[in-house]
Amino acid sequence: MMDFNSSSSISEQVSALVDAGLQHQQAQQRPRTYLGASRLGVSCERALQYEFIQAPVDSGRNHSGRLLRIFERGHLNEDSMIQWLGHAGFDLRTTKPNGEQFGFSALNGRLQGHIDGVIVAGPEGFKYPALWENKCLGSKSWRDLEKNKLAISKPIYHAQVVLYQAYLELHENPAIFTAINADTMEIYSELVPFDAVLAQRMSDRAIKVITATEAGEQLNRAYQDPTHFECRMCAWQDRCWRQNNERR
C-alpha cells in the first residue's frame, strides 16, 4: 500500500494531479489551422508538413506534464521581463489597444505569426520601433547562445525574428532579442539586424510546405537515418519512417 504520509509519495501524487490537469487543459485548446512562423526555421520540411496538418503524434510523444510546466515557466519569465524592461525605461507594447496580440496573417491565413512585442521608445543607444522577442532557456542552452550569438546558436529563433521583422514591417531597425537563464536569472540581450535573404528563404519555404501539403506531396525529410538525433526527438518519427517502409 502506498504511504501517503511520506514526502516522496505526496510529491508524486501532487505532481501527477498537476500534470493531469495541465494535459487536460491542453487537450481542450483549439488546434492550429495554420503553419506557425515561429517554426519555419526547423531543419525538416516534412516535420513542418505534419505540424501544418496537425498530424497525430506518435504514441507516447504527447507533451508530458513536466514539459508543459517548462512551457509555463517560459510564459511567466516573459511576463517578468516585460515588467523589468518597463522599469528600465523601455516603452514596450505587447498588445493592440483592443487587447489582441500583435501578429500577422499571410497566404489566406495559412501562415501566421504572433510576436512578443514592439518597443516604441526608450533609453538612448537603441533605434525605435524595434521588434522584441524573448526566450527562457536552461543554463547550457543560454551559455551556448551567449557564446555563439542568435544566428548560430538558435537558427530557429533567428528565422522567427527576421520573418516577424519582414511581415510586420519592423525591418528598418534591429530587433531587440532577450533571453533569460532560467537557472541563474541572467539576462542575455542582442540586437538582431534584418536579414532579407533569410526572410525571403523562410517565406518561400512556407509557400513550399503549404503548397506541397495541400497537393498531397510529401517533402523530403532532412535526415536519412532514423537514429539521427533530430529524428529520434521528432514527434512523428514512427509515422515518417513507417510510411516510407510501406511504400517500399
pLDDT digits (tens, 9 = 90+) for 32-63: 789 999 999 999 999 999 999 999 888 755 55
**Per-residue buried b or exposed e for 204-223, using 16+ beta carbons within 10 Å of the residue's own CB:** ebbeebbebbeeeeebebbe
Which pLDDT belongs to residue 243? 61
pLDDT more than 90, % of the chain: 71
Instruction: Note the pTM of the prediction, 2 decimals.
Output: 0.86
Does pLDDT of 12 surpass 60?
Answer: yes
Which pLDDT belongs to residue 154? 98
| HSE, side-chain direction, 13 A CA sphere, residue 184 | 10
Output phi, psi for 174, to 5 deg: -60, 145
The amino acid sitting at 21 is G
Grid cell 548560430 is found at: 152
C-alpha 132/C-alpha 11 separation (Å) is 38
DSSP symbol at 235: T
Q: Which helix (H) or strand (E) holds 247?
A: helix 237-247
